A and B are shown apart, each in its own frame.
Chain A
Amino acid sequence: MLREFLRLAAQNVLHRKLRSFLAVLGVCIGIAAVVGLISIGLSLQAMMKGEVSKVFGVDTFVVMDQDMMNQQRHGAMKEFALNMDTLQGVEGVKIVAAVRQRTAFVQGGVNAEGKAQQGFMPVMGLSPELLTEFSAFTGDLALEPGGRNIQVGDTEVAVLGANVAERLVVGLGDSFLVAGEGKNEIRATVIGILAASEESDADQGFASGMSSSSGDTVYIPYATMGRLWPEGNDFLVTAVKILPGYEVDDVADRAEEALKAEGSRVTAITSGDITDVIDEMLAYINIFLGGLAAISLIVGGVGVMNTMFTSVLERTKDIGVMKAVGAKNRHILAVFLIESGLIGLFGGLIGTVFGLGLSAVVCWALNTFANMPGGVSFPFVASPGLIVVTLLGAFAIGAMSGLWPARRGSRMPVVDALRYE
């Protein structure tokens, strides 16, 4: 009998083409908004996850200040204390690379007036492995011609930010003084100068924006840093690569435990932790976008309801006739519910196509016209789950909007319905 009712309902929809079209259009706009906005949200999520997986392999995690992943953090990185030997000793750890930061007194060459150039400047101790094993973190540190980066085995050398080189009046091969704690001091030879970048600091990868812009920082080898200051509350980040055959989350948990046992206020962050945070954040965004879109869907539903009320009223006599020839209340209810459900479903089908189209156009436009840094691209995401749920939901919204009018129609006494003119 369902097939017959479906046919009856479909014929009623098609019989009133213009009115059905308008009701379908209302649902269609709502569904297009929902599908479009959520798909754009999914694209954003895919883009962010893609970026995270570019930096973090499956074999890498970082150790940072423990407030880093909390809601209370305020963006800037905080220094923390850490024992590198403990970290290196955790089972499954292959390589550890760290970044420490201090402010040091530095003294360079003399200026045109013969005055020695000196001042306090941020000094970062970088593990050379950071540049070789964890290049995704540091980004591409472009040097001026003739220079080189810090390598394993380097001691009293430095790479300078472009501004620093200028201010200290030193060039490649020159040496300058860096003073550490107490009487600790070295004369470091300049082996490289960072090319003045045209990009903003935020685009220069992980190491650049740590606490000051790269142009103002003196970079020295990690080991040399240890000669100037003992390890203390000055770690910015520690990157860890694990041995093959270990699970990154297990090793990260062990590392965090071992470090915390020594009193370090740290947290170990894997790509999974970051994608969790992204998922959580984007879930809120999607709920917000979906909520906005749902408003237009409700409007569409009210449109269907209005159409169905008119339809029921207009077909009062038909209801009477159907009841006279043997239709029960539930038959009438079913016919009208299927009818309004079909309006919803048609609207859902067309709306889904439009919504996905909208999302595709937005992704294309972002990829084509927005000047996005570092090969970031918005992938177009057509989620099968979203499509199925949307279509079912569209049918349900249609049917629900039709429920009230259909009930009224089905309960009309046959004698009154037959008399209706």
Chain B
Amino acid sequence: MALLDLRGVTKDYPLGSTIVNALRGLDLSIERGEIVAIMGPSGSGKSTLMHILGALDAPTDGEARLEGHDLRELSENELVTLRGRKVGFVFQTFNLIQSLTAQQNVELPMIFLGVKRRDRLERARYLLEKVGLEDRVAHRPNELSGGERQRVAIARALANDPEIILADEPTGNLDSETGATILDLLKRLSVDQGKTMILITHDPDAAAIAHRVVRLRDGRVVQEVRNA
């Protein structure tokens, strides 16, 4: 059974007085341990697809299964718990909580899952060390560089030891050199820890680390290429 399995997925949402058909019968299957890059022009449905792959939203129609759970059959709270355990997000704009330190940001997903304080502290330290920020644990986001912020975000994404890392333009706000080190880190972590990684990106360099590149257009998959 595929880790993520989408069959004939459509997603419509209202925008002002019109209905946007963001996804129009999309099929996609992602296996455990795969690194998949999803590419496509603006308006192709990348973000909407990311929301569904990350269990942030359910499709309007069709079938979307994460580890066999049909997203359309889950309540809002069940969706929250599922993504809290199974998915770690890395965003283009890092999306760290400004009032919290690096360590507290990494602790956050564990707090909501009810992880004990001592285990939380230990894991947050361990992950920040993994991303090379052991000397930045007490810094707040505004005291960190862009690359450092994205490292904190990656550590946070790994906090609950999820199956899937979902990275939405992870290098979009970084210079190419920093972007390269972040991609390197992401690849290393996903291979080391056996994570499935999905990259939503415009960046050909980002796509280059993937096993498979999926291209979208107008809410459908138009091309799938396996990297050698």
List residues of chain A with CB under 8 Å of any chain B CB.
1, 4, 8, 11-12, 14-15, 317-318, 320-329, 331, 413-415, 418
| A11: contacting residue among B99, B111, B159, CB under 8 A | B99
Bound complex: CA A318 to CA B114 (Å): 19
Question: B76 contacts A325, CB within 8 Å?
Answer: no
B84 touches A326 (CB 8 A): yes
Summarize A's interface: helix, strand, loop or mixed.
helix
CB-contact partner of A325 in B57, B104, B156, under 8 A: B156
Instruction: Name the B residues within 8 Å of A321 (CB-CB).
Output: 91, 95-97
Contact in complex: A326, B160 (CB < 8 Å): yes
| New A-B contacts (17) at CB < 8 Å, excluding given A12-B99, A322-B112 | A1-B114, A4-B111, A4-B117, A15-B98, A15-B99, A318-B97, A321-B95, A322-B108, A323-B80, A324-B83, A325-B108, A326-B80, A326-B112, A326-B160, A328-B80, A418-B56, A418-B95
User: In this assembly, does B139 line the interface, its C-beta being within 8 Å of a C-beta of chain A?
Assistant: no
Interface pairs A-B: 10 shortest CB-CB: A326-B84, A15-B99, A326-B112, A325-B109, A321-B95, A11-B99, A4-B111, A327-B112, A415-B57, A328-B80
- Given A324-B56, A414-B56, A415-B51, the answer on whether A331 and B100 have CB atoms closer than 8 Å is no
7 residue pairs of the A-B complex, CB under 8 angstroms, read: A8-B111, A11-B104, A324-B83, A326-B85, A329-B76, A414-B56, A418-B56
Closest to A324 in B: B89
Which residue from B51, B56, B95 sits with its C-beta under 8 Å from A317? B95
Is B227's CB within 8 Å of the partner chain A?
no
**Closest A residue by C-beta to B88:** A325
Q: How far is the CB of B139 from chain A (nearest CB, A)?
A: 14
Given known pairs A321-B95, A325-B108, the reply for A11 and B77 (CB within 8 Å) is no
Chain B residues within an 8 Å CB radius of A331: 112
Complex Cα distance A259/B183, Å?
Answer: 102
Question: Which of B76, B81, B88, B114 counts the most A-chain CB atoms under 10 A from its CB?
Answer: B76
A414-B112 Cα distance, complex, nearest whole Å = 15
Nearest residue, chain B, Cβ from A14 = B99
Residues of B within 8 A of A326 (CB): 80-81, 83-85, 109, 112-113, 160
Query: Could you tell me the distance between the alpha carbons of A325 and B77 in the complex, rounded to whole angstroms?
Result: 13
Q: Is B54 an interface residue (CB 8 A)?
A: yes
* Nearest B residue to A12, CB-CB: B99
**Residue from A1, A15, A328, A415 within 8 A of B56 (CB atoms):** A415
The residue on B at minimum CB distance from A4 is: B111
Separation of A14 and B100 alpha carbons in the complex (Å): 11
How many residues of B are counted as interface, with CB atoms below 8 angstroms from the partner's CB atoms?
A: 31
By beta carbon, the residue of chain B nearest A318 is: B97
Nearest Cβ on chain B to A297's Cβ, whole angstroms: 28
A326 and B156 alpha carbons, distance in the complex (Å): 12
Please measure, in the bound complex, the distance between the C-alpha atom of A328 and the C-alpha atom of B77, giving whole angstroms: 6
Contact of A8 among B51, B89, B100, B156 (CB under 8 A): B100
> Closest A-chain residue to B100, C-beta based?
A11
Query: Roughly how many angstroms separate A133 CA and B162 CA in the complex, as a whole number?
Result: 90
**CB under 8 Å from chain A, chain B span 99-142:** 99-100, 104, 108-109, 111-114, 117
Expressed in whole angstroms, the minimum distance between the Cβ of A28 and any Cβ of chain B is 23
> Which residues of A are found within 8 Å of B160, using beta-carbon distances?
326
Kindly state the separation between the CA atoms of A64 and B225 in the bound complex, as whole angstroms. 107
Q: Give 1 or 0 for each of B48-72: 1 = CB within 8 Å of chain A CB.
A: 0001001011000000000000000
Residue of B nearest to A317 (CB): B95
Which chain B residues lie closer than 8 Å to A323 at the CB level? 80
Shortest distance in angstroms between B88's beta carbon and chain A's nearest beta carbon? 8
Which residues of A are found within 8 Å of B99, using beta-carbon distances?
11-12, 14-15
Separation of A414 and B89 alpha carbons in the complex (Å): 13
Bound complex: CA A49 to CA B27 (Å): 85
Separation in Å of the B71 CB from the closest CB of chain A? 13
| B80-A327 in contact (CB<8A) | yes
- From A421, which residue of chain B is reached at the shortest CB distance? B93
CA distance A418 to B169 in the complex (A): 14
Which residue of A is nearest B87, CB measured?
A: A324
Q: Give complex CA distance A322, B85 in Å.
A: 13
A325 and B89 contact, CB distance less than 8 A: yes
Q: Give the distance to chain A from B174, nearest Cβ to Cβ, in Å.
A: 19
Query: Taking CB as reference atom, which chain A residue is nearest B57?
Result: A415
What residues on A are CB-neighbors of B81 within 8 Å? 326, 328
- Taking CB atoms, residues of chain B closer than 8 Å to A4 are 111, 117
Query: How far is the CB of B90 from the nearest CB of chain A, in Å?
Result: 11
Could you mark each residue 165-182 of chain B with 1 if its beta carbon is under 8 Å from any beta carbon of chain A, else 0? 000000000000000000
* Residue in B closest to A419 when the chains form the complex, CB atoms: B47
Task: For residue A199, give the distance in angstroms from its CB to the closest CB of chain B.
Answer: 66
What's the minimum C-beta distance from A308 to chain B, rounded to whole angstroms? 15
Task: Report B178 CB to chain A, min CB distance, Å.
Answer: 21
Give the docked Cα–Cα distance between A410 and B159 (Å).
23
Q: Output the nearest chain B residue to A1 by Cβ-Cβ distance.
A: B114
Give the complex CA separation of A328 and B75 in angstroms. Answer: 11
Closest chain B residue to A323, Cβ basis: B80
CB A333 to nearest CB in B, in angstroms, measures: 13
CA distance A325 to B115 in the complex (A): 13
B181 to chain A, nearest CB (A): 23
Separation of A322 and B91 alpha carbons in the complex (Å): 13
User: How many angstroms from the CA of A317 to the CA of B77 in the assembled complex?
Assistant: 19
A166–B97 alpha-carbon span in the complex (Å): 91
A415: chain B residues within 8 A (beta carbon): 51, 56-57
Residues of chain A with a CB closer than 8 A to B54's CB: 324
CB-nearest residue of chain A to B160:
A326
Distance of A14 Cα from B99 Cα, bound (Å): 8
Give every chain A residue within 8 A of B98 (Cβ-Cβ): 15, 318
Q: Tell me the complex Cα distance, A4–B109, Å.
A: 12
A415 to B97, CA, bound (A): 17
CA distance A325 to B95 in the complex (A): 11
